[in-house]
Structure 1
Amino acid sequence: MKLRCLFLALLGCASAGSPSMFGEITSPNYPQVYPNNAVESWNIEVPEGYGIRLYFTHLDIEPSENCEYDYLQIIIGTEVQQAYCGRHVLGSAGFPQEKFYDTTHMTLSFRSDFSNQERYTGFAAYYMAADVDECDGHHDPCSHFCNNYIGGFFCSCPPEYELQDDQSTCGVNCSGGLYTDQRGQISSPGYPSPYPENSRCEYKVVLESGYQVILSFKAQDFDIEAPEDGSCIYDSLTIKAKGKKFGPYCGKTPPPRIETGSHEVDIEFITDSGGDNKGWKIYYSEDAIPCPADAFDHSILHPQKNKYVFKDMVTVKCEEGYEIVSGKKRLPSFRSKCQGDGTWSDKHLKCKPVDCGEPEPLVNGDVKFTLTTYGAKAVYFCKTEYYTLKGDDTYYCSMNGLWITSNKDSELPKCTAVCGKTSLSQGSRIFGGSKADAGWFPWVVRVDLVTNIGGGSLISDQWVVTAAHVLTENANPTIQVGNVDFQKAVDVQAKKVILHPDWDVNVEKRTDYNNDIALIQLARRIELDDCIYPVCLPDKSEPDRPAINEVGYVAGWGKTEKRAKTKYLQFVSIPLRDLEYCKKIVPKTYTVTSNMMCAGGDGFDSCDGDSGGPFMFEDLKNREYKRLYLGGIVSWGIECGKYGMYTKVQNYLDWIEKTIEEVENGEKDEEPLEPQRICTKAK
């Protein structure tokens, strides 16, 4: 089998896929009539370095205009070079002449239509591989000398030139020059004689790290071939240093002085096949590598200089509004050194905008802000009219990353409840009193006990003040709020009950009500609204208020002259009495102290079930609207309708304030619950 293939190859009939030196191609059924609807093609391939010579010995194909019906096409690539049809006799004027095609690949495509009435017999053609003369001047494959041989060619060079890697270009080997002296000169090959063509010359300058290479040129030492447009597409000189590229340069105008910024510089000179220019000379020297005037964006260097060079030391700070951040640390400044590569040390540090983060939220309030960076403004406000902002409302993001006021205070304002507002215009009575309307005393709460009831006063959105004796045996009371009709009120739960530390709880038959005051912390804050908001506490700056004979109001759901308990909140206006006078009419077994107030008489008084409720007085300093403050807490009495005793709230303001602050500070890390809504408004 191998011998047969070898024999066929010598005849030009190579195996499938291999280039052939010659061959014959005939139409289907040749020399008989070719069939109708025939479609057939032949791919011709000859070896590299050859073209295809094609000639016919027979051509008999049905004629038609532009060979529409039957035809034989000669195709090179995707283009049809020639189409043949008609009946031609060998040697006649119309018979195709032998033709050479400068290609190694060709396709012959034959097609017949549905009819062949005159019995056309097709074609017979022969092809052979013909040598191509690559050196005939049309191809120009070599830069200097071209040498042809059958099936190929090779290039050669004149003396002093070498054939380059592309095997077609001749050039001078002018690369590999290394310059390490502090200063010197570099020139093109043979300068000032014309430089060689088709060359690529590479030079390298390497100085000590920390010093940059300075390149200078002179007009008389620069002459590189260039087209009129100055594009340097013929010959060019290019400088490369530290990722930067200078050039390419050409023509007769030398480049300006070049500060490369690097101690390593590569010089590349490329020439083409033409030109007669003398070339160039470069003068190089060294200079300490400069560092930029800032270490990074928004930095400030001290001391300030026009130029910083290798080994200079500076202190780096940030512009106003920026700070140096290293990990999680903020640095006021750091020391940096100009390094040999022209950069400052500690490049990982940056000046970042001071960011105060989002302003802290307020309980019962909110804050408006757009930015959180240095100089940004945040404005606090309370959510509803039932709170008032205590403290500054405007804060600014400061350089130390804190939100502060214009007075440099970082403590947040507070939304404190609007207190003591009442729509009460004229009073009447409790024991001997009258029903209170909604909005008169919206802070009064009903304390529902296991065996009794009591009263209390809301002094914030989460705290109720009442009498200690009401809670002595009732540590978990239910508080009813939001309506003068307690049956329509909303039940809220207590979280903590705190009796005054000096209240004596271990008493069987009580005659000493000194320090009869307690606080109840509600389980959830209350959403203040028109049906519920707190009463004011006394003003510390007015210890003598209320005055003797000043009239105040007492309110509660306790016993009246007609009923043991009342469904609706009752109130009465009673005068404050002189405590010394009340001491004289109270049995000697009862203790009366300066922590107590005495009021009532003439059939108007608080009574059973009113304990813990408020004894309220009008704030005479506030003229904007009528406001009541809590002067006393219903504590004890000898007989309903006569004089009653009240805990004097003025004496316990510090304890109230301190106790609430300690409890709430201890709960700062707790997830706050949503405020409980009490009021229901008509739709």
Structure 2
Amino acid sequence: MIVFCVIVLLFPVCGSVPLAGWVQSPGHPRGYDPYSNLTWKKCAPTGHKITLTLLHLDLEESFECEDDALKVFADKVLLFTLCGRKSVKELQASVNPFLQSLPGGCLTVSFLADYSNTERHTGFRGFYTIQDVDECMDPENECTQLCNNYIGGYRCFCRPNYILDNDNHTCKVSCSEDHTNSKEGVLMSPDWPRPYPENSVCSYTLAVEEGLQFELTFLDVFDLEKKENGECIDSLTIKPLNGKAETFCKRDIPSSLLTRSQRVEIIFRTDHKGTNRGFRLSYKTRGMKCTGPVTTKSSMIPQESEYPTGSKVTVKCDKGHVLKSLESAEDKYEATCQKNGQWSPLIPCEPVDCSIPDLSEFMDLSEDDPPTTYLNKISFKCTNEYYQLTKNGTFTCNAEGNWESESGQKFTEDMPKCEPVCGMNKDTSSGGRIFGGRPAEIGQIPWQLLHRISPRGGASLISDYWAITAAHVVDGYETTTMSWLGGMIDGKSQNPVTMETEKIIIHPNYQKVGRGSPSNYNHDIALIKMSKRVPLGRNIRPVCLPKKTDEPKGDATISGFGRFLEEKNSRYLLYGPVQIYPLNKCDSVGLPVTNNMICAGGDEVDSCQGDSGGPLFSPVLGYGSPDNPYRITGIVSWGPRGCGNKSYKGFYTKVQNYLDWIKETMEKN
């Protein structure tokens, strides 16, 4: 049978490619002519290689064989470039041993002569043969045990008691065993107690009737190959029908294992080498029992280490967990130990989910898609640079499914908000005047508003909906929609931010006289609510309200579009520094002065007609910072006739006295 196979395999070799032959230069041995050339190529069949032996070499000698040359290639790789004369002995020693192809490869010979020779050269001659390759001598043939070479190929085979795997290279043992309905016995690795064979995958199946489980006890030495870091090379895996599979290869395994399963598969795997002894273990059955917990994040009543089949327990979810699969809001149920060692019903306790709360405008989560279940935290941020959180924005999901602040309040009770950043402007230098004052730059006093038509006056933005002004400016216009302009420094600007009023609320203690100058300026303050949110930006931003504890004193700044000459309103926003004086230092010109007023003035700097309702703010313009923002101290209210008179000062509504009214009014409206 073996001889027959060899003859069959020789036919295609003999029929398609000569097994041997000659290759020589044109005219050999008489000599080659100028411009002679030759290209010769032969390829070996599969499982064979082609070998060339040069027996004669006589070519013109030249530097790097640039005149006449013989080149030999193996599978397109240049092996040699030859010229000059070499004896057979020299060729055998340094050239011929290397003139061979890879298995199934090709040899190519290229000869080229130039236009002339100083003497006649006989050329070259070689003998080629096609030979069978002994694949069994190749260490990479992947036969794990024995190898049989034949002409054109090779075959792997195995020692006795081994079988050849489907890959036709790997030898392995047939070691799988079925122990179904066997209640006790012994399992061991192949060839125990001798070293176990390589390339083994043994599967031992244990199975009995429901209500029983297997107990495994390891006997003698447990010795499987492993790496120095403890990683398994060979392994023993115990895989119960229910439960988690465990894999072993260390020597310090437990002596006994209770599988809690009526069916167990034991899988023994080895690699291609090693001299370890393996394992031996006994198995037996015992009655099935259940263990706890029934499900994670729960407790059991009563609490025992094991429960016989038929036992009933009450399963109660841990704090912050609920039975999501039940329609009711129950957090406990009854479970029974089954014959297979499992609890039924098995309802998981899942963490309470607070979900993402509804967020106000300009507010977003600090993280994308954060977990929202029990004890997880979320925090918030403002998405607009002109807004900031009013309080700490971190909340924790509590056991009741509510987001809880650090102070213990619910999200709905202690919800942070994105409020406008107040009292900030662009970086500027200080100085300037109103009456005869200095023009403001765009964004320098971004809270300044203007009512351009009669009554001409100013106001200060204090939020993205509310502005504050003098009561006498809006007295009589409470039911009228007024248009206020902001985000500009030119009173004739064609592109201001236009705001329409929704409500005008005058302080209840202000003595209304209706569209005219009152005889009493006490409580000269009013709030304006805009019909829609003011689009805050670099050029229109609110000013901060004063603190209750900060008594007005020192230097401040006033601003407005009022008169800068005796008879002419300013087209541009002007500002200037003033000093705040005690009320007893200011001449009231016969009008009543109250503690609800501030007196302020400066050297040729004063507010004037048309500035009414505008701000008196501090610190002095140019000295504000995030730690010391600009705050509206007063509202331009009244003063003596003749703006800029050094003998008189102007009077401003003291905003500090109205903080509670402002807060209450804004919250109610």
Q: TM-score, normalised by structure 1?
A: 0.49
Q: Is the 8 A contact 1:303 1:315 kept in 2?
A: no
Q: Is the 8 A contact 2:424 2:626 kept in 1?
A: no
Helix, strand or coil: the match of 1:580?
helix
Give the deviation of 1:296 after TM superposition.
4.3
Q: Which residue of 2 aligns with 1:306?
A: 305
Measure, in 2, the Cα distance between the counterparts of 1:434 and 1:466.
Answer: 22
Equivalent residues in 2 for 1:314-463, closer than 5 Å: 314=314, 316-318=316-318, 322-325=321-324, 330-331=329-330, 333-334=331-332, 336=334, 338=336, 350-369=348-367, 370-374=369-373, 375-405=375-405, 408=408, 410=411, 411-422=414-425, 423-448=427-452, 451-463=454-466
Equivalent residues in 2 for 1:78-477, closer than 5 Å: 293-308=292-307, 310=310, 312-314=312-314, 316-318=316-318, 322-325=321-324, 330-331=329-330, 333-334=331-332, 336=334, 338=336, 350-369=348-367, 370-374=369-373, 375-405=375-405, 408=408, 410=411, 411-422=414-425, 423-448=427-452, 451-475=454-478, 476-477=481-482
Larger Rg: 1
| Pair 1:403–1:471, CA change in 2 (3 A) | same
Say whether 1:608 aligns with 2:609.
yes
Judge which range, 640-649 or 392-401, deviates more.
392-401
Q: 2:500 aligns with which of 473, 493, 496?
A: 493
Measure, in 2, the Cα distance between the counterparts of 1:473 and 1:534.
Answer: 26
Say whether 1:539 aligns with 2:547.
yes
| Pair 1:328–1:512, CA change in 2 (3 A) | farther
Counterpart amino acid of residue 534 in structure 1: P
Give structure 2 stretches of 5+ with no counterpart.
Answer: 1-180, 186-202, 212-240, 243-257, 263-285
Measure, in 2, the Cα distance between the counterparts of 1:418 and 1:258.
Answer: 66
Q: Is the 8 A contact 2:452 2:491 kept in 1?
A: no
Give the deviation of 1:619 after TM superposition.
7.7
Measure, in 2, the Cα distance between the counterparts of 1:371 and 1:581.
Answer: 61
Counterpart amino acid of residue 488 in structure 2: N
Give structure 1 stretches of 5+ with no counterpart.
Answer: 1-214, 220-230, 232-236, 247-256, 262-284, 664-683
Helix, strand or coil: the match of 2:485?
strand
Measure, in 2, the Cα distance between the counterparts of 1:292 and 1:494.
Answer: 72
Give the deviation of 1:649 after TM superposition.
0.6
Give the deviation of 1:432 after TM superposition.
2.6
Measure, in 2, the Cα distance between the counterparts of 1:471 and 1:558.
Answer: 16
Give the deviation of 1:585 after TM superposition.
3.4
Q: Which residue of 2 aligns with 1:646?
A: 652
Measure, in 1, the Cα distance between the counterparts of 2:381 and 2:259.
Answer: 62
| Pair 1:353–1:513, CA change in 2 (3 A) | same
Counterpart amino acid of residue 478 in structure 1: S
Superposed CA offset, 1:299-357 (max 9, x none): 32244212346474535123x653344778755x436364899997987x652222121
Helix, strand or coil: the match of 1:527?
coil
Measure, in 1, the Cα distance between the counterparts of 2:572 and 2:477.
Answer: 23
Measure, in 1, the Cα distance between the counterparts of 2:497 and 2:625.
Answer: 33
Counterpart amino acid of residue 564 in structure 1: K
Q: Which residue of 1 aligns with 2:572?
A: 568
| Pair 1:640–1:395, CA change in 2 (3 A) | farther
Measure, in 2, the Cα distance between the counterparts of 1:615 and 1:501.
Answer: 22
Helix, strand or coil: the match of 1:486?
coil
Equivalent residues in 2 for 1:586-597, closer than 5 Å: 586-587=589-590, 590-597=591-598
Give the deviation of 1:377 after TM superposition.
3.9
Q: Is the 8 A contact 2:356 2:372 kept in 1?
A: no
Q: Which residue of 2 aligns with 1:481?
A: 486
Give the deviation of 1:541 after TM superposition.
2.8
Q: Which residue of 1 aligns with 2:512?
A: 505
Q: Is the 8 A contact 2:320 2:400 kept in 1?
A: no
Judge which range, 378-387 or 503-512, deviates more.
503-512
| Pair 1:609–1:623, CA change in 2 (3 A) | closer
Q: Is the 8 A contact 1:433 1:572 kept in 2?
A: yes
Q: Which residue of 2 aligns with 1:670?
A: none
Q: Is the 8 A contact 2:581 2:600 kept in 1?
A: yes
Q: Is the 8 A contact 2:315 2:335 kept in 1?
A: no
Q: Is the 8 A contact 1:294 1:301 kept in 2?
A: yes
Q: Which residue of 2 aligns with 1:122?
A: none
Measure, in 1, the Cα distance between the counterparts of 2:523 and 2:626.
Answer: 34
Measure, in 2, the Cα distance between the counterparts of 1:386 and 1:455.
Answer: 23
Measure, in 1, the Cα distance between the counterparts of 2:327 and 2:567.
Answer: 70
Measure, in 1, the Cα distance between the counterparts of 2:259 and 2:456.
Answer: 97
Measure, in 1, the Cα distance between the counterparts of 2:398 and 2:510.
Answer: 48
Say whether 1:637 aligns with 2:645.
no
Measure, in 2, the Cα distance between the counterparts of 1:611 and 1:580.
Answer: 23
Counterpart amino acid of residue 634 in structure 2: G
Q: Which residue of 2 aligns with 1:50?
A: none
Helix, strand or coil: the match of 2:303?
coil
Judge which range, 384-393 or 438-447, deviates more.
384-393
Q: Is the 8 A contact 2:434 2:607 kept in 1?
A: yes
Counterpart amino acid of residue 371 in structure 2: T
Measure, in 2, the Cα distance between the counterparts of 1:513 and 1:329.
Answer: 66
Counterpart amino acid of residue 644 in structure 1: G
Give the deviation of 1:216 after TM superposition.
11
Helix, strand or coil: the match of 1:553?
strand
Q: Is the 8 A contact 2:556 2:620 kept in 1?
A: no
Superposed CA offset, 1:93-127 (max 9, x none): xxxxxxxxxxxxxxxxxxxxxxxxxxxxxxxxxxx
Q: Is the 8 A contact 1:619 1:626 kept in 2?
A: no
Measure, in 1, the Cα distance between the counterparts of 2:602 and 2:563.
Answer: 16
Helix, strand or coil: the match of 2:564?
coil
Q: 2:533 aligns with which of 519, 525, 536?
A: 525
Q: Is the 8 A contact 1:322 1:351 kept in 2?
A: yes
Counterpart amino acid of residue 546 in structure 1: P
Q: Percent identity?
A: 34
| Pair 1:305–1:239, CA change in 2 (3 A) | closer
Measure, in 2, the Cα distance between the counterparts of 1:217 and 1:388.
Answer: 73
Give the deviation of 1:556 after TM superposition.
1.0
Give the deviation of 1:361 after TM superposition.
2.6
Measure, in 1, the Cα distance between the counterparts of 2:485 and 2:588.
Answer: 35
Helix, strand or coil: the match of 1:526?
coil
| Pair 1:619–1:300, CA change in 2 (3 A) | farther
Give the deviation of 1:633 after TM superposition.
0.6
* Aligned pairs, number: 391
Counterpart amino acid of residue 504 in structure 2: V
Q: Is the 8 A contact 1:606 1:640 kept in 2?
A: no
Superposed CA offset, 1:399-439 (max 9, x none): 33233455545433333333223434232221232221123
Superposed CA offset, 1:654-682 (max 9, x none): 2222222333xxxxxxxxxxxxxxxxxxx
| Pair 1:421–1:395, CA change in 2 (3 A) | same
Measure, in 1, the Cα distance between the counterparts of 2:552 and 2:533.
Answer: 30
Measure, in 1, the Cα distance between the counterparts of 2:259 and 2:293.
Answer: 22
Q: Is the 8 A contact 1:295 1:316 kept in 2?
A: no
Measure, in 1, the Cα distance between the counterparts of 2:459 and 2:492.
Answer: 17
Give the deviation of 1:564 after TM superposition.
3.1
Q: 2:522 aligns with which of 509, 514, 525?
A: 514
Measure, in 2, the Cα distance between the counterparts of 1:315 and 1:238.
Answer: 30
Counterpart amino acid of residue 470 in structure 2: A
Measure, in 2, the Cα distance between the counterparts of 1:329 and 1:586.
Answer: 78
Q: Which residue of 1 aligns with 2:127?
A: none
